[in-house]
Amino acid sequence: MDSPPTEQLSWLVLSLPLFFLYVLPGLLTYAVVGVWYLYRSLKGWMRFADRRFPDNSPVDVP
């Protein structure tokens, strides 16, 4: 048997804040990291195709 519509609506209202607190930030973070990974990969392959060394900046070691 199906639940009455009011009970289904109450579960939706109760779970909606969880979506905005956990799922949406997780998806946004996953998208940002994915774009960054794609950018770094393509940048590296472009440098490789031009026969240049990787862009490694020197690090100051105390």
Triad 15, 20, 23: Cα angle to 5° = 90
Buried b (16+ CB within 10 A) or exposed e, 16-42: eeeeeeeeeeeeeeeeeeeeeeeeeee
pLDDT over threshold 60, residue 1: no
pLDDT higher than 90, residue 57: no
What's the whole-model pTM score? 0.61
Over residues 15-36, the mean pLDDT reads: 92
